[in-house]
Amino acid sequence: MQAANPRVAINTNHGVIEVELLQKLAPLTVTNFLDLVASGFYSDLIFHRVIANFMIQGGGYDQQISYVPGPKTVANESFNGIKNTKGTVAMARLSDPDSADTQFFINVKDNTHLDAAGSQAGYTVFGRISAGYEVVESIELVSTHLSHGMAAVPEELVIISSITLIE
Share of the chain above pLDDT 90, in %: 97
Please report the pLDDT score of residue 4 as a whole number.
87
Please report the pLDDT score of residue 126 as a whole number.
98
pLDDT by residue (tens digit) across 128-163?
999 999 999 999 999 999 999 999 999 999 999 999
pLDDT band with cut points at 50, 70 and 90 for residue 2? low
Q: What is the mean pLDDT of residues 25-38?
A: 98
* Contact predicate 132/18, CB 8 Å: yes
Q: What is the mean pLDDT of residues 110-127?
A: 98
Please report the pLDDT score of residue 167 as a whole number.
82
**Nearest alpha-carbon partner for 58 in 94, 121, 128, 10:** 10
Position 1 pLDDT exceeds 90: no
Query: According to the 3-state scheme, what is the secondary structure of the chain?
Result: CCCCCCEEEEEECCEEEEEEECCCCCHHHHHHHHHHHHHCCCCCEEEEEEECCCEEEEEEEECCCCECCCCCCECCCHHHCCCCCCCEEEECCCCCCCCECCCEEEECCCCHHHCCECCECCCCEEEEEEECHHHHHHHHCCCEEEECCEEEEECCCEEEEEEEEEC
Please report the pLDDT score of residue 16 as a whole number.
98
Q: What is the mean pLDDT of residues 81-91?
A: 98
Average pLDDT, the chain: 97
Share of the chain above pLDDT 70, in %: 98
* Contact predicate 81/122, CB 8 Å: no
Please report the pLDDT score of residue 30 as a whole number.
98
Domains of the chain and any CATH numbers: 7-166 (2.40.100.10)
Q: What is the mean pLDDT of residues 29-35?
A: 98
